[in-house]
């Protein structure tokens, strides 16, 4: 019996080049690379064979949309399309109107296969191109796509694919927001086993992104605009091989919007409902001092009994500012006072910290500037009086820093939208952002339902 090697060699001359490379490869790597090329050609040959058979089958001709006459075959015409394996070519019947109505031409096989008239690439390549674009600059994504599939594209093609898919993502979001405003609840996302009693952590932060100052032109000075990002995650426990317990975030979901707090608020609530905020055993809100984000807490999460936590490191930073204004930043007294206050705040003495600050601002001998800084510090901590029980939080196993929101900003925004020389248009940014959100929230396949290459 002949080997597959020999069979392929004689089957189609396209196999011969990669086959001889495979046979002569001096290393395992080169062997695999040659086999990869061979398998792609094998897929192309298989696809082209199936298409050739389908093209021969009897065709039902549609009627001319202009005059209503039944269309007629004008014989076989060539067609090619870029796929995951490279470019495939086939011939199929093309028909026209017998009366010669202009611009009316159909290829029934293409319609059956779901290929549009001007489509040059199949959907799984578009899906892959969009996934790459979610993580890297369009130009780099083009190179990667060429490496992976052999399909050559220009960056603007990827940009327009992302535009279309991102637009669908935005429309879906708007439909969901409208539904929620009309009293419908989004479908709850199932929780992985063991997470149903895990606390739901929610945090939010802002990050600046560079935009073009005017639509349609890259000219002019960069305009920085804030993107608001929120994260929702379950705080689960992990036990390592030594039996040591540590906490870890699970089922991380992100929400982001280029807009105001009023734009963030309903989006975050939508995702929170999806993450079962109403039935969670414990909900925790973590944020630094930004008043806008705290208003989101008051609007949405206070009513579900969320535990609010003011970021400890932000609070400590403000204590240091106060110490420096009062005792001159470099002195030993300043360092000592700050260390003590920070320690008291962290270890259950928050009331004492407040009392001490209250007494301090009543001191008559304070210089004006120090008085102002210390008054601000007192007002800030007093406003967050119920959010600074750090000792209690720690005892309950909760985090006391809002680092999860900061790292969400870095992860979601910094990595893709703040590359060297990048400046965004509002629509271009929004579409890519929504697609990136779909990806990180594990909903990307919704936008390319038939094109998922690996089952989740």
User: For binding to Zn ion (CB under 5 A), which residues are involved?
Assistant: 64, 66-67, 97, 99, 101
In whole angstroms, the minimum distance from the beta carbon of 67 to Zn ion comes to: 3
Maximum Cα interatomic distance, the chain, rounded to a whole number of Å: 103
Query: Between β-strands 86-96 and 72-83, what pairing exists: parallel, antiparallel or unpaired?
Result: antiparallel
In whole angstroms, the minimum distance from the beta carbon of 109 to Zn ion comes to: 21
Give the nearer residue to Zn ion in terms of CB position, either 64 or 309.
64
In whole angstroms, the minimum distance from the beta carbon of 110 to Zn ion comes to: 19
In whole angstroms, the minimum distance from the beta carbon of 59 to Zn ion comes to: 18
- What strand order describes the sheet that includes 72-83? 72-83, 86-96, 105-106
In whole angstroms, the minimum distance from the beta carbon of 63 to Zn ion comes to: 8
Give the nearer residue to Zn ion in terms of CB position, either 97 or 165.
97
Give the nearer residue to Zn ion in terms of CB position, either 97 or 360.
97
Q: Are 48 and 88 within 8 A, CB to CB?
A: yes
Give the nearer residue to Zn ion in terms of CB position, either 105 or 407.
105
In whole angstroms, the minimum distance from the beta carbon of 149 to Zn ion comes to: 39
Separation CA 441–CA 254 (nearest Å): 7
Q: Is 376 exposed, middle or buried (0-12, 13-18, 19+ CB in 10 A)?
A: middle
Spell out the residues 6+ positions from residue 114 whose beta carbon is closer than 8 angstroms to its own. Answer: none
DSSP characters over 297-308: IIIIITTTTPEE
∠ CA 159-162-164, nearest 5°, is 110
Q: What is the DSSP letter of 57?
A: S
Give the nearer residue to Zn ion in terms of CB position, either 100 or 367.
100
∠ CA 277-279-283, nearest 5°, is 45
Separation CA 194–CA 6 (nearest Å): 54
In whole angstroms, the minimum distance from the beta carbon of 69 to Zn ion comes to: 5
Give the nearer residue to Zn ion in terms of CB position, either 97 or 284.
97
In whole angstroms, the minimum distance from the beta carbon of 272 to Zn ion comes to: 56
Give the nearer residue to Zn ion in terms of CB position, either 96 or 416.
96
Give the nearer residue to Zn ion in terms of CB position, either 61 or 439.
61
Spell out the residues 6+ positions from residue 268 whose beta carbon is closer than 8 angstroms to its own. Answer: 202, 204, 230, 232, 255, 296, 300
Separation CA 424–CA 160 (nearest Å): 15
């Amino acid at each position: 019996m002949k080997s597959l090697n020999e069979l392929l060699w004689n089957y189609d001359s396209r196999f011969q080049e990669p086959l001889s490379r495979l046979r002569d490869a001096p290393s395992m790597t080169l062997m695999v690379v040659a086999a990869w090329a061979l398998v792609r050609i094998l897929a192309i040959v298989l696809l082209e064979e199936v298409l050739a058979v389908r093209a021969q089958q009897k065709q039902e001709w549609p009627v001319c949309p202009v005059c209503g006459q039944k269309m007629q075959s004008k014989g076989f015409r060539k067609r090619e399309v870029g796929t995951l394996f490279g470019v495939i070519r086939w011939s199929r019947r093309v028909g026209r109107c017998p009366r010669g109505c202009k611009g009316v031409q159909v290829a029934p096989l293409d319609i059956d296969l779901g290929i549009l008239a001007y489509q040059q690439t199949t959907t799984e390549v578009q899906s892959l191109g969009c996934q790459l674009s979610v993580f890297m600059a369009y130009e780099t994504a083009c190179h990667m796509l060429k490496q992976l599939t052999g399909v050559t594209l220009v960056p603007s093609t990827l940009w327009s694919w992302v535009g279309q898919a991102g637009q669908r993502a935005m429309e879906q979001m708007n439909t969901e927001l409208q539904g929620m405003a009309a009293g419908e609840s989004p479908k709850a996302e199932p929780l992985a086993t063991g997470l149903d009693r895990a606390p739901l952590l929610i945090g939010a932060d802002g990050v600046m992104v560079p935009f073009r100052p005017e639509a349609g032109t890259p000219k002019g000075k960069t305009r920085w605009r804030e993107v608001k990002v929120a994260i929702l995650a379950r705080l689960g426990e992990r036990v390592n091989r030594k039996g040591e317990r540590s906490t870890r975030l699970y089922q991380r979901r992100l929400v982001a919007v280029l807009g105001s707090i009023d734009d963030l608020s309903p989006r975050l609530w939508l995702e929170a409902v999806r993450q079962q905020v109403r039935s969670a055993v414990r909900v925790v809100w973590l944020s630094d001092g930004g008043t806008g984000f705290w208003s989101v807490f008051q609007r949405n999460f206070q009513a579900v009994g969320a535990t609010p936590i003011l970021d400890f490191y932000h609070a400590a930073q403000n204590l240091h500012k106060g110490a420096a204004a009062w005792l001159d930043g470099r002195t030993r007294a300043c360092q000592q006072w700050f260390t003590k206050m920070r320690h008291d705040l962290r270890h259950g003495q928050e009331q004492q910290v407040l009392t001490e600050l209250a007494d301090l601002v009543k001191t008559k001998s304070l210089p004006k500037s120090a008085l102002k800084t210390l008054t601000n510090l007192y007002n800030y901590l007093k406003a967050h009086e119920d959010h600074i029980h750090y000792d209690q939080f720690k005892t309950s196993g909760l985090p006391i820093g809002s680092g999860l929101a900061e790292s969400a900003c870095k992860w979601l925004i910094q990595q893709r939208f703040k590359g060297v020389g990048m400046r965004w248009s509002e629509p271009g940014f929004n579409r890519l952002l929504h697609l990136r959100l779909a990806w990180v929230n594990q909903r990307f396949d919704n936008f390319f339902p038939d094109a998922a290459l690996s089952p989740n």
